[in-house]
Structure 1
């Protein structure tokens, strides 16, 4: 098995792999790959066997596999992590801080917890009052993403407002990733955010895909990596990025 390469900062995570070909394309320029499980009705949903297979393929390709889930059952998630050997769990829904605390206690210590903070279009951050509680509960990394007008979350393709991101950053004492309609051409709009010491990279679904096939495209991923991750500096090879406790 190929050893996972050290995670850089900034890093590129591509989200929603469903086939071995997606893993191969991701490995041409990404550092992490999101695998959906427990996302009811999700276009990229994987059953447990598919999740285990793609997680193994990702590790063999030098990628960090990330479980992306709406689930809120700590014991079930911890069991899934152990069986599939994912490196991070990304809580991409409205799981409360108490659930994060329980999950941290149930997970192997080396597995990172990523909590999504949802930015409403034309509004603020849904979880803003709970950021401190999430950090104390054991969140290692935040991911800033957008919701749609009807409340849809996850891979919406909606652009993340740079001004609203900047407004939120003083509240964060954990590192963060950006998501939400990011493209190579959109990189200059986030210059101030990218210079923030907590910035760790981006999470992309739509812009990582070949428009003609809907699958991950090597050219698209390479363009994202060039725009957002050029001149990056390796950080210690530890999937939790920074300790939370």
Structure 2
């Protein structure tokens, strides 16, 4: 069964909506140099992580200036996982992974998904996303899922599919890519940074029930 992460939560109501819908992970965006209605201050991020129930993975989504800043954020927020956006050297990622207790996830550009192999042995998971010009996600734009599936086939790390996913297209995305998990933010929002409960429930249900058609 495909796992689901609901990202860009800004309040307890949206956190509860994601949990009630059956999300496996929740994403809280903090300390990013891009303009997004989904970013929350450090203290708010810590509160939301603490409010998540057991067995729901909390993910701090951030674009830190470097590994030392990432370590500071993990120490302050205490998430189950940290998801990095931006450019990082493999050595910096290996250093970071050795210094934190949280799982390390890295977002990679869907247009260069093959480059994910460079980081395959230094992270715990790879998010294949459609980034904007500023390097952030949440663009609402899909990418070539067939190409992503081909690139993911050679990876050992779990692949999390992101980028333009909605309740209407997530089933087709899962059937095409067969990812470990799917990740959605803007695709289940009623307004910028505010989740639509019905859309969240529909997204989770369709993602988890999706099956790749049997080969003839």
- The TM-score bracket by the shorter chain reads 0.7 to 0.9
**Equivalent residues in 2 for 1:12-91 (5 A)?**
12-29=4-21, 30-40=23-33, 41-59=35-53, 63-91=56-84
Pick aligned residue for 2:117 from 132, 140, 159: 132
The Cα RMSD (Å) is 2.2
Higher relative contact order (CA 8 A, sep 6+): 1
Distance 1:202 1:20, change over 3 A: same
Matched, 1:93 2:72: no
- How far the C-alpha of 1:52 sits from its partner, in A, is 0.7
Q: Is the 8 A contact 1:22 1:215 kept in 2?
A: yes
CA distance in 1, matches of 2:31, 2:92: 16
Q: What residue number does 1:177 align with?
A: 160
Q: 1:145: which partner in 2?
A: 129
Give me the TM-score of the superposition, normalised by structure 1. Answer: 0.77
- How many Å apart are 1:58 and its aligned residue? 1.8
Counterpart mapping for 1:148-227 below 5 A: 148=132, 150=133, 152-186=135-169, 187-194=171-178, 199-211=179-191, 215-227=194-206
Q: Which runs of 5+ in 1 are unaligned?
A: 1-8, 233-245
Residue 181 of structure 1: how far off its partner (Å)? 0.8
Give the C-alpha shift of residue 217 in structure 1: 2.2
The question of whether the paired residues in 2 share the 8 Å contact of 1:59 and 1:65 is answered with no
- What is the number of equivalent residue pairs in this alignment? 208
Distance 1:231 1:144 in 2: 19
* Correspondence for 2:214: none
* Shift in CA distance, 147/87, structure 1 to aligned 2, threshold 3 Å: same
Greater fraction of residues in helix: 2
Tell me the CA shift for residue 70 of structure 1: 0.7
Query: TM-score w.r.t. structure 2 length?
Result: 0.86
Indicate the residue corresponding to 2:105 in structure 1.
114
